[in-house]
């Protein structure tokens, strides 16, 4: 969803991803305040959004930053490292009781590192992409990301009873793998 309608200017990839950073922040807050089934459902949406968002960055945006911006190699390595750590933290969360203090503490740590990661992307990567590529290119990339995200499977809806204590998102890594496979199959044409 775009914040404002500007007829002469379609949403570009940076606006799209920064908008998703805000959604991710809001969704962490939703998981933190929700309880029971609602928490399980919100967490499933968070896992799905993170899978789609980070995979789109890894498939579409990081490769461009790696070649296109000064020091891109190191900037992208650092971001990939943070993304791997977040994925591992999600896997650990998946094994926890959603109503436990352990989950609350791990979720808070993950939230802080994911938001820090998003800040680094905006400051060290996206800002430089805007300087390096013209508006048309950035808008085309947004279209690629949207197409890739459409190819990704939709997030599963937890059933009513099973959702309370255990996560029903399925293994986190499988969600990431499915999203990546879908993007490689469905989002690679065009560009």
Kindly list the residues in this chain that would bind Fe ion in the complex (CB under 5 A).
54, 57, 118, 121
The CA-atom distances, in angstroms, between 90 and each of 81, 136, 173 are: 14, 35, 9
And the tokens for 113?
């590192």
Nearest approach, Cβ of 151 to Fe ion (angstroms)?
A: 19
Nearer to Fe ion, 127 or 157 (CB): 127
Minimum distance from residue 10 beta carbon to Fe ion (Å)? 20
Integer Cα distance of 141 and 149 in angstroms? 12
CB nearer Fe ion, residue 50 or residue 96: 50
Rg of the chain in Å (alpha carbons): 17
8 Å CB contact between 17 and 61: yes
Nearest-approach distance from CB 160 to Fe ion, in angstroms: 32
Residue nearest to Fe ion (CB): 57
C-alpha to C-alpha distance for 131 and 94, rounded to whole angstroms: 39
In the bound state with Fe ion, the residue whose beta carbon lies nearer, of 50 and 182, is 50
Shortest Å, Cβ 175 to Fe ion: 16
| Contact yes or no for 141/132 (Cβ under 8 A) | no
**Shortest Å, Cβ 120 to Fe ion:** 9
Q: ∠ CA(149), CA(44), CA(41), 5° rounding?
A: 125
């Amino acid at each position: 969803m775009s914040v404002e309608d500007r007829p002469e200017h379609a949403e570009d990839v940076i606006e799209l991803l920064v908008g998703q950073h805000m959604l991710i922040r809001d969704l962490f807050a939703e998981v933190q305040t929700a309880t029971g089934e609602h928490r399980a459902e919100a967490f499933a949406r968070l896992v799905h959004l993170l899978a789609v968002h980070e995979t789109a960055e890894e498939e579409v945006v990081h490769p461009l930053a790696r070649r296109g911006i000064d020091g891109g190699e190191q900037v992208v390595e650092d971001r990939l490292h943070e993304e791997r750590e977040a994925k591992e933290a999600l896997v650990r969360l998946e094994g926890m009781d959603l109503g436990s203090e352990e989950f609350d503490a791990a979720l808070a740590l993950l939230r802080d590192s994911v938001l820090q990661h998003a800040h680094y992307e905006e400051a060290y990567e996206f800002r430089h992409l805007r300087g390096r590529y013209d508006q048309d290119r950035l808008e085309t990339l947004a279209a690629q990301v949207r197409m890739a995200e459409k190819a990704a499977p939709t997030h599963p809806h937890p059933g009513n009873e099973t959702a309370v204590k255990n996560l029903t998102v399925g293994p986190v890594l499988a969600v990431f793998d499915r999203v990546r496979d879908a993007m490689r199959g469905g989002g690679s044409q065009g560009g």
